[in-house]
Amino acid sequence: MFTGIVTDVGTIRAIERRGDTRMVIGTAYPVERVEIGASIACSGVCLTVVDKGRAPDGAAWFAVDASAETMNCTNLKACKPGDAINLERPLRVGDELGGHIVSGHVDGMARIAAIRPEGDSIRYTFEPPRDLLRYIAPKGSVALDGVSLTVNEVVENHESGSFGVNIIPHTQQATTFGKLGVGDQVNIEVDTVARYVARLVQVEP
């Protein structure tokens, strides 16, 4: 379980495509304290640490394996060595819940449709899969590339729809959002509470 508060921006050091896809990610985390089998959210995708170590220059790294399903359903399939990636270690009992409850189970990808300045912040407009719009509400929470964000508005029409969020300067600098552009795809995880409420509404008494 995660909170959507990114604690490191890692760098993809290597990608090996075989049965699954092995990704080696450089990090500022003290890998000596990261257990093999631990979970780390990588751009919002909960993945398991399968190896770790330090390079000859002392730089820390860890490795994860992503299944074909994970690669097909997330933007990890477009990653290449040198790319930045948002990282978050799992929530521990007693930690401050600064964002919202995030499972690391990505629901799909949303396309960046527009980016424009708004005060000191930047307003991003996203176009998610049509079937996910029902889970997104103004002033509700959404996780985008693992970042917990508040929805400003939702616009729907018959065939598609969009929603907007504001990214403050700190978030631009502390996550990969400062590197994104129009047309890029981000991983989206809708709010867990919204998903369960929608399910309860569907179930007949």
Domain containing residue 138: CATH number: 2.40.30.20
Specify whether 146 is located in the same domain as 114. yes
**26 located within any domain:** yes
Specify whether 65 is located in the same domain as 132. no
Query: Has residue 137 got a pLDDT over 80?
Result: yes
Specify whether 84 is located in the same domain as 118. no
**98 located within any domain:** no
With beta carbons less than 8 A apart as the criterion, state whether 172 and 122 touch.
Answer: yes
pLDDT at 203: 59
pLDDT at 114: 97
pLDDT at 157: 81
**144 located within any domain:** yes
Specify whether 118 is located in the same domain as 194. yes
Query: Has residue 116 got a pLDDT over 70?
Result: yes
Q: Which of 9-23, 90-104, 120-134, 181-195 has the lowest mean pLDDT?
A: 90-104
Specify whether 131 is located in the same domain as 50. no
Specify whether 35 is located in the same domain as 120. no
Question: Which residue has better confidence, 9 or 160?
Answer: 9
Mean pLDDT of 27-38: 96
Specify whether 52 is located in the same domain as 117. no
Positive or negative torsion for Cα 162, 8, 33, 66: positive
Query: Has residue 158 got a pLDDT over 80?
Result: no
pLDDT at 47: 98
Domain that holds residue 142: 108-202
Question: Which residue has better confidence, 57 or 205?
Answer: 57
**2 located within any domain:** no
Specify whether 128 is located in the same domain as 167. yes
3-state class percentages of the chain: helix first, strand second, coil last, to nearest 5: 20, 45, 40
Specify whether 116 is located in the same domain as 193. yes
Mean pLDDT, all residues of the chain: 93
Look at the chain and report how many structural domains it folds into.
2
pLDDT at 1: 86
